[in-house]
Amino acid sequence: MKLLLSSSNLARSSGMIAALQALLLPRPRRWRICHIITAGLAGRPAADLSWATEPWVADEERHLHAHGFLCQSLDIAGWSGAALGEHLAGFDAYSAMAT
């Protein structure tokens, strides 16, 4: 498992993109990255799915796609350990952004 923890927007920092790309070498195909956004949702109820339409989520996904990543944002609140592990197994890397 490859995990990159960031306190800032990955896509807006060329240094962070380069670090993520280096972490994932060699590159056999487009990398699949799970962008875990739970920390950015502090104070929202777990059932609140409005984060999916937040401009900052779409912006991060769009920028990561532009750098060669297949990106899916995910709020992990409420997932069971087994179900989360199974879901995350399909990704090459995980990015967790703290606010």
- Could you tell me the residue range of the domain that residue 20 belongs to? 3-97
Alpha-carbon gap, residue 39 to 70, rounded angstroms: 21
Tens of pLDDT, residue by residue over 15-72, are: 777 777 777 777 667 888 888 877 666 666 666 777 777 787 888 888 888 888 888 8
The reported pLDDT for the residue numbered 55 is: 82
Q: For residue 68, give the nearest of 92, 43, 52, 90 by alpha carbon.
A: 92
- At residue 22, the 3 state secondary structure works out as helix
Plot region of 37 (φ>0 → left; ψ -120 to 50 → alpha; else → beta): alpha
Task: Note the pLDDT of residue 14.
Answer: 65
Total count of domains within the chain: 1
Going 75 to 76 to 78 to 82, the CA torsion angle's sign is positive
Length of the chain in terms of residues written:
99
Least confident of 22-26, 42-46, 79-83, 84-88: 42-46
The CATH number of whichever domain residue 72 belongs to comes to 3.40.1010
